[in-house]
Amino acid sequence: MRTSNKLIVGLGAILVVATITVDLMLKSIYNRIDLLDPLKNYDAIPATEFRVLRFIGGNAYAVSIQPAPSTGIKVMRSRKGFLRTEHHGDTLFVRFSVMSNGQMRDPEQVPLGLIISTPHLDAVFATGGDLILRGWKNGNLKLDLFGNGSADLSGLQLTVLTILAHENALVRLRRTNSADSLVVRSEQKAQVILEDIRAKKITPVLLDQSHLVLNKASVKAFFLRD
């Protein structure tokens, strides 16, 4: 066999072995993936404990802010390059390099791009973004929402819940919320929708063509109590 033919055969054999090796490696990696894991497409990023969250941006994905025994952040892998976090004192700054598109959207119908977990939360300040807050209990919580952002609140059991909505923001108190005192300030065409909230006291302030919307259940809870 000529030398050139031997080289061609040798290179062909190397390529076959390399292809088989890579295929086996990829198969091994694939087999280790739990296809039923809802977080399989998320990466964890470093986070230290905080009590105040300042959020800027949105990038067309929802952000879940949830109670947990320890602090953690998980970001959808495809969104990781757009995210930056900074920690100053008791405040975590979260910035997406792309803002929301300015449309009022339902956070529960938007893909979940970021999951923030923490054992303590006193306040959330957000410009843009579509936020989901669920399951916070005890103590006081303040939500201050700007810039066409939206927020869904469910399962809250608080002493004082303060909602400040500005600049076309939209806040929904969606399911099984309760508070001893509910303070609402809505301005600059913002909307606060009380779908399911029981509170002993409500203090509303509405300015600049803003809206506070109550459904039948909320009207009964606030105005038709024994």
Number of domains in the chain: 2
Task: Give 115's pLDDT tier (boundaries 50, 70, 90).
Answer: very high
**Which residues span the domain enclosing 76?**
42-223
What pLDDT is recorded for position 4? 59
- Choose among 54, 52, 59, 57: nearest CA to 128: 57
Q: Rounded mean pLDDT of 96-114?
A: 70
Considering the domain boundaries, does residue 98 fall inside one? Answer: yes
Taking the C-alpha atoms of residue 47 and residue 5, their distance in angstroms, rounded to an integer, is: 58
Assess whether 27 and 119 both reside in one domain: no
For residues 57-80, give the mean pLDDT. 88
Sequence length of the chain is: 226
User: What is the rounded average pLDDT of the residues 31-51?
Assistant: 75
Lowest-confidence range among 95-109, 125-139, 154-168, 186-200? 95-109
The residue ranking higher by pLDDT, 102 or 188, is 188
Who has greater pLDDT, 138 or 219? 138
Same domain, 120 and 176: yes
Q: Do 103 and 169 have their domain in common? A: yes
Compute the average pLDDT of residues 65-74: 96
Inform me whether the pLDDT recorded for 223 exceeds 70. Answer: no
pLDDT of residue 191: 94
Average per-residue pLDDT for the chain: 84
Q: 60: domain CATH number?
A: 2.160.20.120
Give the span between the Cα atoms of 112 and 74, in whole angstroms: 10
Supply the pLDDT for residue 153. 97
- Least confident range from 29-38, 77-86, 205-214: namely 29-38
Across residues 40-44, what is the average pLDDT? 88
In a domain, 37, yes or no: no
pTM of the predicted protein model: 0.80
Torsion of CA 120, 125, 131, 137, to 10 degrees: 30
